[in-house]
Structure 1
């Protein structure tokens, strides 16, 4: 799941980490906070995060021990220690425990960003980079204008795109471009754009727990209602039904209270 769990009894440290994340390209990730190991373990079991950020000094359990318990639950979970403790023995314990990073307070936001870039799943990072930054390396091939248009759409699906804007990119009049696009692709420009956006949304629905309205926005849909309509027309399910389907496949089934929780995401 595309979630970050912060376990630290210092509320100002949690607030700082949250502010850094919410001020970055990772601002669409869901963030959970806990001030004790006990609360952290509950959240850890309820929401399988993509990253665990913890302090070694917790009021009810040694942070190293908590991190080890987290790795027993999820062996591939990246664990980032953020602490004021600079002693080598703690660094060594963290390394020997299989933790992924050891960062010192006061935390550098650039160091945090570099660590997240390194540790978050590659596919999720690619989706985030495409959505936030777009791609400015497009070059039109005048001999293959429709192929070039498809490339441009794939690069910029998260933005508001019009037929005229894409036609301009391949140096064709809108009317001729529209006719040629339908002939070569078998879909109208609008149909193809919706298709691409829905395919991107399917990936985020399956591999992240981003709220549906955020996924709608990130994949270029003007509002969640239109997103749901377009998604169901192409996939045959609503976005929440599609997400629920894969959640229960991964969990091997589930109880009614679990279904209720998923529908609220």
Structure 2
């Protein structure tokens, strides 16, 4: 699982950003690194991170093409460009592609935190206002690719996970019978359609529990669960803790880590 994916050929640059995130208020975010677009795309498809931060100069990223592919796969993933080039053209193109941030390298802590804070606040506003705004975040709905029905089904889940979704509805969308679609989905993905949908929703809910103080009822509603009771039961079955317990645990870990760093800094200055 990962919340932030850093894509950069420069190991030192990746570790620099990881260090900035692990040493502050975003330390609870799980960070994964990749040194190429080829290695990054499977991670994007598998984990659906909150944000992808990448350098467009990565040799196989084709400039902004990699970010565009991430957005096509899941429009709710935030794409942030990190570049040594202070070029207006690059910034302008990134904005036109629907990217969510532009940072100059070496990445500055204050600017990185500012971007993450803005993105999280935007997500909170979308969550509070419910499904209508979530639909706007997803923007244009992907057309079904009948040659790749399972990929189309997964894309549909990513765009509509906050809404009621049935196996029959998605099977009809890709022109397959529910029984055949069900078998094909499990064969290609390795899990059932319902389990994949539920896991995806739980992953989105865990992010909201970690980075927001939204009520459990709102998080349940905005991640596709019919009510908070069913959400809590499902969450505990999969995660091993209730949503409230998970939030408390993550908050305690954050506070403990902050206290340890404070003590280390105090010791260093003595």
TM-score by length of 1: 0.49
* Larger radius of gyration between Structure 1 and Structure 2: 1
